[in-house]
Amino acid sequence: MKKNLYVILGTTAVLATAIAVAACATTKNTAKAAAQPQLGETIVKETIAPDDGQNPVMNFIGNYYGGRACVSVEAKGSDEAEITVVWGDSYNTKAVWTMSGTFNEATTSVFYDNAIKKMITLNEKGEVIFEEYLYTSGRGEFVFSYDGVTWNDLEEHMADTMVFRFGDSVEDVCTTIFPGDVVETIPSEPTATPTPKPTEKPSETEAKPTETAAAPTEPAATQPSVEVTEPAPKTAEDINGEYKSGRVTVEVDSEDPENVQIWVIWTASHNSKAVWSMSGKYDPATETISYENGTKKVFTYTEEGEPETETVEYTNNKGVFVFSYNGVTWDEYNENIAEGMVFIKEV
């Protein structure tokens, strides 16, 4: 009887211990599950509200592409962005902007007022053989969104209406334009161009070893102050001439700066074209011409090229022409027909 009682008591103790262990394990698993962040919480934390101390620009770093241009974004410090824009003008000439600014989390944007722009010429090997600084202290803003980034360039309006998409490009503009690590060295001071010259000259003449030895230090110290000087604004005489883009020609007659005459000739087909005519005062400070007297006419022609009809579509149209180093843009308020276009001056 006692033996059976001991067996029963021993079995009961084992069961009680097992139940206690199971209960403890269940409590720990429940606590662990409660502490584990849910999927929605993880996404919010990583993409919208980064950990304290993490630069919010980390959510947007990388390369963004649009046409022949690339926008490269990097994080700096706790809340700043360093941005480089590379724009291919031709197979061996590129425009490069470098700028930085504080990231605004409320608007997911970066405003800057320190942009440096330069033109770079490459040889057949992709090596930089010439640099020309065009201006400094350029102003503008980058705005990031779910589908990419837009660039509001307040100096030249280079990227109006463009959206740069994140990801890969058919041609990786950011790397193919500048082989190797050249893109990363763009923000550095412009000492790359004068450096080779002093090493070549000593071999040409041994009479001036002291002068050529001192040459590398002087250009390196004085070069930035010379090259970063902003170019003088264009005069009325500078903007005179023809500008073209595809089937469109912009003719500018600036003989009278107070009343510059402009015609935009848009060839629609072999026997029809639209012609806008307007005039306005040239403002050399902003390099713009605003107008409020634009007239649009549509002309048709016979198969022999003779005038057939002339129709006035509207008058008193408003808009503005903005001139820059490489041409002119036309912000036409009625039809917005020239959005994203740059008309290049004929030489």
Cα gap 95→227, rounded to integer Å: 15
Cβ–Cβ < 8 Å for 200, 95? no
Q: Which pLDDT score, from 0 to 100, does residue 232 have?
A: 64
What value does the mean pLDDT take over residues 142-160? 87
What value does the mean pLDDT take over residues 92-107? 91
pLDDT digits (tens, 9 = 90+) for 7-61: 444 555 445 554 544 444 444 444 444 444 343 333 333 344 445 679 999 999 9
Q: Which pLDDT score, from 0 to 100, does residue 243 have?
A: 93
CA proximity to 73, closest of 54, 86, 89, 88: 86
**Per-residue b/e over 315-339, b at no fewer than 16 CB within 10 Å?**
eebebbbbbbbbbbbbbbeeeeebe
Is the pLDDT at 252 greater than 90, yes or no? yes
CA proximity to 64, closest of 139, 183, 147: 147
Cα gap 71→235, rounded to integer Å: 32
pLDDT digits (tens, 9 = 90+) for 297-345: 999 999 888 999 999 999 999 999 999 866 899 999 998 888 778 888 8
For 31, 48, 71, 143, 182, the CA distances from 105, given in Å and listed in that order, are 34, 9, 20, 11, 31
pTM for the full predicted model: 0.40
pLDDT digits (tens, 9 = 90+) for 198-232: 444 444 444 444 444 444 444 444 444 434 444 56
Q: Which of 126-130, 192-196, 207-211 is most confident?
A: 126-130
DSSP string, 149-190: EEEEETTT-TTTT--BEES--SS-HHHHSSTTTTGGGTTS-S
Q: What is the mean pLDDT of the chain?
A: 74
- 201 token code pair: 């000259």
What value does the mean pLDDT take over residues 157-171? 75
